[in-house]
Structure 1
Amino acid sequence: MRDEFFALIDRLPNAGEAERQSLEAQIWERFGVERAVMALDMSHFSLTVRRSGILSYLGLIRRMQVITKPIVDAHGGALVEFHADNLMAVFPDVPQAVDAGIAMNRAFELQMKPDGGQMIEVAIGIDFGRFLFVDGCRCFGDTVNTAFKLGEDLARAGEILLTPGARARLGAAFPHPFSEQQFSISGLELQTFNVQHRNPK
């Protein structure tokens, strides 16, 4: 599948208008999906490396990977990749993605440091829409980019941020409230919904 995808992509630069439209239609027909994308980013990278060294942080990355993979699987998701201290996963719909994000946060809350602090904290972004999903290991599209924007740049430790499109996929029975947040980045206004998933202390 991957070779087929890139063979079609390679033909685009030299294609005329009619052929380009035909190629794009083939690519979206063959590889386009409509699903939820989760982007997870570990928090406090620079501070942790400065305090404890890169090897200690690599150990935390591995622990994050070991914890999150079974949770993705249990919620019907597909792990696309681990890259550095990031995770990308695809889910059939937003409820599964959000439930997985909540389960991950709760699992990380149990990973305590000797001083009693939480060992691993993550920020999560979720979007829903159409994108290109290639061979289970490549994702391309605005939905993917937006999920990463939320997870890497906007969400703080412990937060799960949703786009309006993702929020709309959650029914009235969803048990957690939201707080609406507005962000302005490079002249773009972004509306997000922060899932209030933490239990009251």
Structure 2
Amino acid sequence: MYGAPHSPGTAAMTHDGIGTIETGRWPARRTAVMDWLVNGTHDERFLDRLFLELCRRLEGADVPLLRAVVILQIDNPQWSGVRAMWRRGAAAVEARMSGFDARLGASYLVSPTHDIHEGMAEVRARLWDSDPAGDPYPLYAELRADGVTDYVAWPLLFTQGRRNVVTFATDRLGGFSDDDIGLLADLVPVLAAVADVRVKNRLARTLLDTYVGPHAGEAILNGATRRGTGFTVEAAIVVVDLRGFTAISDLWPRDDVIALLNDYFDALSEPIERHGGEILKFMGDGLLAIFPDDAQAAIGAVADIRTAMAALNAGRVADGRDALGYGVGVNYGDVMYGNIGSRTRLDFTVIGPAVNVASRLEALTKEVGVPALFSGAFVERTRCGAALRRLGSYPLRGVGQPLDVYTFADGEA
């Protein structure tokens, strides 16, 4: 049969055979697993490792778990959720990401997860003594095939009204005992609290990585939040700009402009990140990136940008659209890396003459008719002259002396 729902951690609830918990009394029974979850998890940053240890401790407390699953809604540019599953004997939790269309499929719409998201307090299935013909969810056939005899799912109630899900399953003949269900139900509110903290910590890191980059995000999380604070680093600086964007944005529909920019920035960003660079900001139709750890990697990134842009433009031309022009300026030098802005709005970025030179080189690409230019300072620092050829010395606006300027030796656009 399927059990009647109850809500873990509420002021009054009944577990069959345990008796009614007096109003306001929680947990029903103090356990070593509960003590650990409340007092022993402060130093564990990662929810998957915490969940793994929780399942191992439940095994040690003779709770006959076969598998346990946490299903979380997350805020991520690429994913809408994550499903983390532990199985008996596993050395790690298996995580699987879900895309933004996951909630449109039948596997979600007819599932315990959907019903708990919609407000159900519990889903319980004693599969060992129920008729498969009466199964309300297709999931139960999968559970039966896995040897599951008893299954329970509860909401993990996070702040801001977000409902996530935890499930437990056993293969023991006769299913979970009343004591097992009571122990698990008592743990759920604490698990929700510790999971909420870690999900929000992960969210903060994800958002910082997304909007300011991993190096800047790490610095901010470590306390670099005061205006005017920062440090000096030596780095290769890369500035990229799209040609003719003003005309495109004036003439094209908004959605087409956004789609173009996304394709364009994918072609730029993936090579930069693959070669260890960090994108500090997107500036309309341009970007600013640095390579603080390996300046020489910048030349490989720019070479791959050429390849990616050539592929993008080939597809555009095949579709009857114009190819996109662009310019890249690369310099090397000291930059100030830190917080700049007003008292209430800060930007964690780089400034300095070396950044200005990279920007001037990008502008110079239009005059000399090549897509990428490198400064003499970059070539001297990285010793990559064999891959480049010198174009000559050029005066740059705001720079005292003409600078040696290089481009790719193969001369490809």
What are the superposed Cα offsets for residues 71-118 of structure 1, whole Å, 9 maximum, x if unpaired? 111111111111211111111344211221111011111113223752
1:161 paired residue number: 373
Give the conservation status (yes or no) of the 8 Å contact 1:39–1:87. Answer: yes
The separation in 1 between residues aligned to 2:268 and 2:398, in whole angstroms, is: 32
Output the amino acid matched with 1:63: D
The runs of 5 or more residues in structure 1 that have no matched partner are: 10-26
Q: Distance in 1 between matches of 2:307 and 2:330?
A: 17
Q: Which residue of 2 aligns with 1:142?
A: 353
The alignment status of 1:89 with 2:289, answered yes or no, reads yes
Shift of 1:197: 5.1
Residue range with higher mean Cα deviation, 160-169 or 81-90: 160-169
Q: TM (normalized to structure 2)?
A: 0.38
* Pair 4,55 (structure 1): closer, same or farther in 2 beyond 3 Å: same
| Deviation, structure 1 residue 34 | 0.7
**Cα distance between partner residues in 1 of 2:399 and 2:287:** 27
Give matches, 1:25-36, under 5 Å: 31-36=231-236
After TM superposition, give the deviation of residue 199 of structure 1 in Å: 5.9
Structure 2 Cα separation of the partners of residues 172 and 138 of structure 1 = 27
How do residues 1-201 of structure 1 correspond to structure 2 at under 5 angstroms?
1=219, 4=224, 6-7=226-227, 9=228, 31-53=231-253, 55-91=255-291, 92-111=293-312, 112=314, 113=316, 114-115=319-320, 117-118=322-323, 120-134=324-338, 137-151=348-362, 153-156=363-366, 158-171=370-383, 174-185=386-397, 188-196=400-408, 198=410
**CA root-mean-square deviation:** 3.0
Q: Is the 8 A contact 1:40 1:88 kept in 2?
A: yes
Change (3 A) 1:198 1:63: farther
Q: Cα–Cα, structure 1 residues 198 and 172, in superposed 2: closer, same or farther, change >3 Å?
A: closer
Deviation at 1:191, TM superposition (A): 1.8
Q: Structure 1 residues 57, 117: closer, same or farther in 2, change over 3 A?
A: same
Q: Which moved more, 1:176-185 or 1:102-111?
A: 176-185
Q: Which of the two has higher C-alpha Rg?
A: 2
Q: State the 1:39 CA deviation.
A: 0.7
SS of the equivalent of 2:328 reads strand
C-alpha distance in 1, partners of 2:326/2:387? 21
Aligned-residue offset at 1:158: 4.9
Aligned mates of 2:265, 2:355 — CA distance in 1: 20
Give the 3 Å change call, closer, same or farther, for CA 60–38 of structure 1 in structure 2: same
Decide whether the 8 Å contact of 1:102 with 1:197 is kept in 2: no
2:335/2:350 contact within 8 Å kept: yes
Structure 2: give runs of 5+ residues left out of the alignment: 1-218, 340-346
Task: Work out which structure has the larger RCO, using CA pairs closer than 8 Å and 6 or more positions apart in sequence.
Answer: 1
State how far apart, in whole Å, the 2-side matches of 1:154 and 1:200 are.
17
Deviates more, 1:49-58 or 1:160-169: 49-58
Q: The residue matched to 1:81 in structure 2 has which SS?
A: strand
**Contact 1:159–1:194 (CA<8 Å) still a contact in 2?**
no
Q: Aligned partner of 1:142: which letter?
A: P
Number of aligned positions between the proteins: 179
